[in-house]
Structure 1
């Protein structure tokens, strides 16, 4: 659902070492095509922030105030359901141990790591951004693709994705309220949050799964188009959040550097915990990749949605969500390359 996009015009993943003569001749074109989402994420933030007329920010605020973020989330999960392959999800059930380990990393290790880091003397907004990221489920696209690109089990990655996003309806309201109570007294109606998440996540996802084309040209078309569409929708929800938080982000100063360091450190800890779990439980190559990537990656659109809805006064919290997404994709992209080189040697 979020993360890197792989253009339907290219058959090669950006982390593989096989480069055709045509691609060697156009390195810049290949770079843009394989990483357009990251460039788009940086561009939408930069353009909104430097717009002196505040036209873009004003439009973003208008969409946000008219349930634009809710509409985007519903659409993302609905279209994701249209392309999820139920037979592959069922195939992932063969590795229950790996799924449990990944879920523990997602819902226990990540929040505990954030809580520990949050004990440092940080700005409240930075701490809230860290907490928001930590309680999120795993991604629905980049983690799955990276698992496959590094030689892992895509079916198992899909299973972890569905389980994590389903369980998050229960886990997020409770874990988030526990973490943020030390920072802010924002009232959180857990039952209401669970109902809202069910309506925004489970209902559209289930509807998409029920309407998924079985075969034929429509299914092939959706498989190509939906990933790109969802990336664009993620850019839209980030734009709404940046529009709301523009004044705060522009006045943040050195806090941006703090955010970058903390985001990188947080993800490094999750990767380290995943690697230790893999060694401890003797999970071999082919099975370990889904645990490593799915256990460490965090979805962006849901974290932005919660920041926009619950913590709009903390603009730096949004900055943390966005910077973390940049950084964890870069770190994991490098890791895919390392795993591929190790597999070939």
Structure 2
């Protein structure tokens, strides 16, 4: 029972996926599409970042800033290694929508909650993991449009896609930076730590992410049903992609001599990718590629399963 309680988020992802996909009446899918068409993902993303701002501790940020080497390595995996890995995988002539989905995932910053939790579980520096989360999401305002523009212009796609960089930057500023600052401001002026602890905001954040998964699957259900065999290809693709990032992360911490207690945040924060922003980018700018949304959702589920197993193994080795 304790293990189920710890893994409730992953279990929720699986149950929501099954409920939407196997609902023959399509009631759930229709409701999700209504939310999607009425700014549901944007509202949830805004709330997620407000809550993230409320959860940020200034002491944790200061502690995280100290480890410059680990920060640079994590950002290197997030900003450089991920797009390179996606570009290499596209040498295998991926279907266009699948390639777009992989590009969106590769351009994303790190996760908002799962990476921090797994870093802690593996015995790593939670403060540094939180710092990487904040920093990478701020930087993503500038990196996402640039990385996406580079990836979609790679040879092999049927025709060139034009990315409106300024529009994406403005939208990310409104949905990432603004709510983060609002949350941090509220925490500094109004709330106290004891009151926030009682609200269980981390759990609220995870429920909001599950809501985004629900909306995403509702929008991607038709693409999944029309491309049933693609489902298994996508699982293989995103698994290889994530394992490539993990491999690069492990290699970097070994080469640069990052020791135990510090390398965990590089591994988990460097290799994980946030789902809420990928959903927002897909629905706003690549809505005609329904299967791209499927790639984003499947990648999130797969990398949580892989990293959940990895963090548990690292925790076991720590306690043995």
- TM-score greater than 0.5 by the shorter chain: yes
1:286 maps to 2:261: yes
Q: How does 1:329-340 map to 2 (within 5 A)?
A: 329-340=304-315
Return closer, same or farther for 1:171/1:216 CA change in 2, 3 Å cut-off. Answer: closer
1:144 maps to 2:121: no
Q: Please, which of 271, 282, 292 is the counterpart of residue 307 of structure 1? A: 282
Q: Please, which of 59, 72, 87 is the counterpart of residue 87 of structure 1? A: 59
Q: Distance in 2 between matches of 1:148 and 1:56?
A: 35
Q: After TM superposition, give the deviation of residue 216 of structure 1 in Å.
A: 4.9
Q: How many pairs does the alignment contain? A: 315
Q: After TM superposition, give the deviation of residue 104 of structure 1 in Å.
A: 0.6
Return closer, same or farther for 1:246/1:207 CA change in 2, 3 Å cut-off. Answer: same
CA contact (8 A) 1:245 1:313 kept: no
Q: Please, which of 138, 145, 161 is the counterpart of residue 133 of structure 2? A: 161
1:253 maps to 2:228: yes
Question: What is the match of residue 251 of structure 2?
Answer: 276
Q: Distance in 2 between matches of 1:227 and 1:220?
A: 9
Counterpart of 2:91 in 1: which secondary structure?
coil
Runs of 5+ unmatched residues, structure 2: none
CA contact (8 A) 1:245 1:314 kept: no
Q: After TM superposition, give the deviation of residue 245 of structure 1 in Å.
A: 2.2
Q: Distance in 1 between matches of 2:11 and 2:197?
A: 27
1:219 maps to 2:196: yes
Q: After TM superposition, give the deviation of residue 244 of structure 1 in Å.
A: 2.0
Q: Distance in 2 between matches of 1:303 and 1:209?
A: 24
CA contact (8 A) 2:10 2:305 kept: no
1:62 maps to 2:43: no
Q: Distance in 2 between matches of 1:69 and 1:219?
A: 24
Deviation sequence 1:61-100 (CA, Å, 0-9, x none): 2111111111111010001111111211111111101101
CA contact (8 A) 1:237 1:305 kept: no
Q: Distance in 1 between matches of 2:33 and 2:253?
A: 44
Q: Distance in 1 between matches of 2:181 and 2:140?
A: 15
Deviation sequence 1:226-285 (CA, Å, 0-9, x none): 121111111222222222222111111221111111111111111110111111111111
1:36 maps to 2:28: no
Return closer, same or farther for 1:216/1:157 CA change in 2, 3 Å cut-off. Answer: closer
Bigger share in helix? 2
- The TM-score with structure 1 as length reference comes to 0.87
Question: What is the match of residue 50 of structure 1?
Answer: 22
CA contact (8 A) 1:147 1:154 kept: yes
1:322 maps to 2:291: no
Question: For structure 1, which segment, 321-330 or 181-190, has the greater mean C-alpha deviation from structure 2 after superposition?
Answer: 181-190
CA contact (8 A) 2:216 2:297 kept: no
Q: Distance in 2 between matches of 1:180 and 1:291?
A: 27
**Structure 1 stretches of at least 4 aligned residues deviating more than 4 Å after TM superposition:** none
Q: Distance in 1 between matches of 2:191 and 2:264?
A: 29
CA contact (8 A) 1:74 1:200 kept: yes
CA contact (8 A) 2:217 2:297 kept: no
Runs of 5+ unmatched residues, structure 1: 1-28
Q: After TM superposition, give the deviation of residue 116 of structure 1 in Å.
A: 0.6
Q: Distance in 2 between matches of 1:316 and 1:42?
A: 18
Q: After TM superposition, give the deviation of residue 46 of structure 1 in Å.
A: 2.2
Question: What is the match of residue 189 of structure 1?
Answer: 164
